[in-house]
Structure formats: C-alpha cells, structure tokens
C-alpha cells in the first residue's frame, strides 16, 4: 500500500504513509512535533508558491496584464512576503505593521499597496517614504490629509485609489462582508460619497488618482458578486470620465475568493472566476463605450489558507452525554481559540484528523476544544474521529493558514505557536514559538 494523499482541504503534499502517520512535504508530523513541539502551524511552501503562481497564471490568461496583490492580513511573515513577490505577486498591506514586514522582506515600495479605514499620519508618512505603489483611500478627509502631507514634504504626487462600496454583499459571515452600506469601509456609490471623493481626488494636485477599489467580502464561493460589483465600479469610472475628462486607468476588485474548509467542499476555481470577471468587465466596458482598465485583485485566503495545518497534541478526552442521548467526545488539544479564533468569532467549521497513526476503524462523534477558560473555546465543532483517540495522540486541523496565526492572541497568557515552513523533506521556522519570557518581557511589574 503506497501513501495516500489526503486531498483538500489539506495542504497539497499531505499524505498518510503505510505506517498510518501523516507527512507534509515528506516530513513526518510525529518528528516535527518532537523537534518543534506543539501546537504549531505547518505551512507547505510549495503549495503556497503553486497557489500564487496558478492564480496569477489564470488571471493573466483571462485579462492579459493584471496585478495580483497578496493580502498580507491573511498571513504575513518576511519569508511569505518574499515568496509572494518571487512568484510575481505584489503585497497588499492594511497597517503600518504589515507594511513594515513587506519592506523588511525587500518588497519594493512600488509593489506594495496600503489600505486602512483609519490610517495614522505615521502610517501615511511611512507609506510615502517607502514610495508605495498605491494608497487606497477610505474617506474624504483622508484625501486632504494625504495631500497636506505631500505638500509639506514636497515630492511627487501620491498615487491613490478610492475605495467604494457597490452595495454587493457577499461572503460567509456578516462580519466578513465589507461592501454593504452600513459598515465602516469605503465610500458609497449609491449615496454619492464615492463620486464626491473621486472628484476631490481629481482636484488635488498632490494626488495622482490611479483608480477605483472595491472589496465585496471574504470566503465567497460564487463569482456573481464580483461581476455585479465590477459593473457598478466601471459605470462610476465612466461617470467620473464624463464629469472630468479623466478616465482612471485602474480598477481593483479586491480579494475574497473562497476555499474548502471541509472534505467535499468545492473552492472557487481561479480560472472560472477570472474568465467570468473578464467577460463581465469587457461587456460592461463595451456598453459604456470606455476602454477596459488595468485590473488588480487582492486575494489572501485562497493563496495561504489551504497550505497550512495546525498540529496539536491531544490531552484530556472526555465523553459527554447529550440531551438526545448521543455521546459527544470532547477532545482537548494544547491550543485553542488563541491560535484559531475563527470558530468562536464566525462559527467557522474545520475538519481534523489523527495524524500520528490511523486509529481504529470505528469512529465517534467528537468536538475538538482548546485549553482556554471559556466554553466557546471550540476548534472543530463536529468531526468523526477514531474511537481510540487518546492523550498523547497528534491531531491536525486543516486549512488554518488564513486568519489563523494572523488573528492569534495571548488569551490566558498562552504563547502563540510557531509557523514552520516545510519543503522537500525539511522544516524551517518562519516565526518562532512565543515564550513565557516574551510575554513577561512586556509586563513591567
């Protein structure tokens, strides 16, 4: 019997060997756990690079020239920013901190975008110092603030895009959806604020208006939202041109491409996505009588999400009798909501597997929980696990690469896990494990 690929939602190279143990990029997770401890995020580097490359190729095939910005909020480290850039992506940052990582990675300023609904002067100044390729402006006052900074510093006009809301609401959860109107991001097309901001941007000589930006949500599994948003943005672009004579050269349609979290879930296919959006853009531009803009996108989750699993050590295993008579086995692991807040925050579903051995064929209804002082500290709501799962076993949770480490906390003074990149049979620590000394070092007594 040869090794069996686990397939989605697991990292591309994850396979179960004849001995029952799972390997990623040829590395036995038992060895990794022994050498690096648990919990740990295990990231398949080749999978990350392939995903970045495949997505870029699909979009280039559909659009010709196109810019793909890797959304660093999903997960950013110096190495990952470098990989993204090596694979021909630019880097989208949402704060001064993310910008600092991208710059530390050696990504040229021109290939970085800066977002944020509440950027500080320090963040804007840093972006201007770095010569970022674009600042995505989120309010009318921000336009004036950037213009004032440019005026006081001298130098070239700042390249800006204006973030608008199209009214399209897409994605998995209300808090993840960012383009409906009653929320903090962007300027409403329907309400007229978007056009006002664009007109203001055209007026200010300290700004170079590159284009219009729209991000409609996250974990989207249907291309339709993007095509509707694209039409709204392109109509606005045409209206601005009619009013000012300036046809802005660029349109960014954001990120949000959904992935598989559970076995059998079908992720959004980049090729189909790219084709559908390209068709909608060229139809809309033909109708409007405007040449097509240069398109850009900002995917995060779809590139990094599936590349990573979280490796935990099983501790307490406790059967709990439910009201309906069923028994649910609570499997506690050595991490929890501090390394993956998504189940608690969004009700997100994940899957888990025993990875140090196969276990018995008989399975039990299990819930994977963490070690935090909170009953909502759930890692996997419901999963079938081998009935003989026991303390000391290794359990992995799939598809934790996006918004796992990047949203991790130190709740209960639990140090955050390391991020280990695996590739061609070896592992490398991208971000080391936090220690109690790291935490106590912040506490001045």
Among 40, 84, 176, 419, the residue binding ligand LLP under the rule CB under 6 A is: 176
The gap between the terminal CA atoms of the chain, to the nearest Å, is 58
In whole angstroms, give the CA distance from residue 207 to residue 205: 5
Q: Respond yes or no: is residue 285 known to be catalytic.
A: no
In terms of Cβ atoms closer than 10 Å to its own Cβ (0-12, 13-18, 19+), residue 88 is middle
The answer to whether 256 contacts ligand LLP (rule: CB under 6 A) is yes
| Shorter beta-carbon distance to ligand LLP: residue 330 or 346 | 346
Least spacing, CB of residue 350 vs ligand LLP, in Å: 12
Is the Cβ–Cβ distance between 160 and 115 less than 8 Å? Answer: no
What mask, x for binding ligand LLP by CB under 6 A, covers residues 136 to 175? ----------------------------------------
Q: For ligand LLP, which residue of 90, 215, 371, 416 counts as binding (CB under 6 A)?
A: 215
Query: What is the nearest approach in angstroms of ligand LLP to the Cβ of residue 115?
Result: 5
Q: Can you tell me which of 255, 293, 306, 418 binds ligand LLP, judged by CB under 6 A?
A: 255
The residue from 218, 296, 356, 400 that contacts ligand LLP (CB under 6 A) is 218
In the DSSP assignment, the letter for residue 3 is: -
- Find out whether the peptide bond into 63 is cis, omega within 30 degrees of 0: no
261 binds ligand LLP (CB under 6 A): no
Q: Reduced to 3 states, what is the DSSP secondary structure of residue 34?
A: helix
5: cis peptide before it, omega within 30°?
Answer: no
**Among residues 373, 441, 443, 445, which one is catalytic?**
373
Pick the binder of ligand LLP from 9, 39, 267, 299 (CB under 6 A): 299
Whether 104 contacts 83, CB under 8 Å: no
Which residue in the set 41, 63, 70, 257 belongs to the binding site for ligand LLP (CB under 6 A)? 257
CB 418 within 8 A of CB 428: no
d(CA 94, CA 71): 8
Which of 177, 170, 147, 175 has the alpha carbon at shortest distance from 160?
A: 147
Site string for ligand LLP, 60-89 (x = CB under 6 A): -----------x-xx---------------
Q: Minimum CB separation from ligand LLP for residue 35, in Å?
A: 29
HSE, side-chain direction, 13 A CA sphere, residue 93:
33
Pick 23 or 342: Cβ nearer ligand LLP: 342
Which residue numbers are catalytic? 373
Q: Which residues bind ligand LLP (CB under 6 A)?
A: 71, 73-74, 92, 115, 176, 178, 215, 218-219, 254-257, 298-302, 342, 346, 402-403, 407
């Amino acid at each position: 019997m040869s090794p069996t690929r686990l397939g989605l939602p697991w990292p591309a190279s994850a396979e179960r060997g004849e001995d029952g143990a799972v390997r990623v990029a040829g590395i036995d997770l038992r060895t990794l756990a022994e050498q690096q401890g648990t919990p740990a995020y295990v990231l398949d580097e080749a999978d990350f690079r392939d995903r970045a490359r495949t997505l870029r190729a699909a979009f280039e095939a559909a659009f010709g020239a196109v810019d793909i910005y890797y959304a660093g909020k999903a997960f950013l480290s110096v190495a990952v920013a470098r990989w993204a850039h090596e694979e021909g992506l630019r880097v989208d940052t949402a704060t001064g901190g993310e910008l600092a990582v991208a710059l530390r990675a050696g990504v040229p300023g021109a290939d970085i975008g800066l977002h944020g609904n509440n950027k500080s002067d320090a963040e804007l100044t840093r972006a201007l110092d770095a010569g970022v390729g674009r600042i995505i402006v989120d309010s009318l006052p921000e336009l004036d603030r950037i213009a004032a900074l440019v005026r006081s510093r001298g130098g070239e006009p700042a390249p800006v895009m204006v973030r608008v809301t199209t009214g399209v609401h897409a994605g998995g959860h209300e808090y993840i959806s960012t383009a409906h109107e009653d929320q903090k991001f962007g300027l409403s097309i329907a309400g007229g604020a978007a056009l006002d901001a664009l007109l203001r941007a055209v007026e200010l000589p300290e700004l170079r208006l590159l284009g219009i930006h729209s991000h409609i949500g996250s974990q989207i599994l249907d291309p339709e939202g993007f095509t509707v948003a694209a039409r709204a943005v392109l109509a606005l672009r045409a209206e601005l041109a009619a009013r000012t004579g300036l046809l802005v050269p660029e349109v960014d349609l954001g990120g949000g491409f959904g992935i598989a979290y559970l076995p059998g879930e079908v992720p959004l296919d980049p090729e189909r996505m790219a084709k559908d959006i390209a068709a909608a853009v060229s139809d809309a531009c033909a109708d409007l009588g405007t040449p097509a803009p240069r398109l850009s996108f900002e995917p995060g989750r779809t590139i990094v999400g599936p590349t990573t699993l979280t490796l935990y050590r099983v501790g307490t295993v406790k059967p709990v009798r439910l009201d309906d008579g069923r028994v649910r086995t609570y499997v506690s692991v050595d991490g929890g909501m501090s390394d993956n807040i998504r189940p608690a925050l969004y009700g997100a579903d994940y899957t888990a597997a025993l990875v140090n051995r196969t276990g018995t064929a008989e399975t039990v209804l299990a819930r994977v929980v963490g070690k935090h002082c909170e009953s909502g500290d759930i890692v996997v709501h419901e999963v079938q696990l081998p009935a003989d799962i026991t303390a000391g076993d290794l359990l992995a949770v799939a598809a934790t690469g996006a918004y796992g480490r990047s949203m991790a906390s130190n709740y209960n003074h639990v140090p955050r896990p390391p991020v280990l990149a695996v590739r061609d049979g070896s592992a490398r620590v991208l971000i080391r494990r936090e220690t109690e000394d790291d935490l106590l070092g912040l506490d001045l007594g």
